[in-house]
Homo-oligomer: A and B are copies of this chain.
Amino acid sequence: MNEAEKTIKRIQAQKGVEGVIVVNAEGIPIESNLDHQRTLHYTYNFQQLLARTQRVMKDLDPQNEASLLDIQTEKNNILISTGKEKYIYTRTIL
């Protein structure tokens, strides 16, 4: 099992986790438990949003950067982590 597969397993083991996508440094999804179309759709949208967030954070404080973006919605949470390998996952509200 490679690192990306291990990340998926580790996150999926948490209560309420549904979809998990692991994205490499080039922005390409390398592991996902969602179908192909949803994987691409989520990856594209949330990478754009993360890039925008990083620009806002740098503008407010050049010494700071976002490490996790947590979007809470009526139906679920979407979490987007940063780092060498980003991951995106959704969690139902328990």
Contact = CB atoms under 8 A, between A and B. Distances in A.
Given A70-B72, A71-B66, A72-B67, A46 B56 contact: yes
A14 interface: no
A29 to B, nearest CB: 15
Given A45-B59, A56-B46, A56-B49, A64 B69 contact: no
| Copies of this chain held together in the complex | 2
Interface string A23-64: 000000000000000000110011011001100110111011
Nearest to A45: B56
Contacts of A63: 75
Contacts of A42: 60
A49 B45 CA distance: 13
A72 B64 CA distance: 10
A83 B47 CA distance: 25
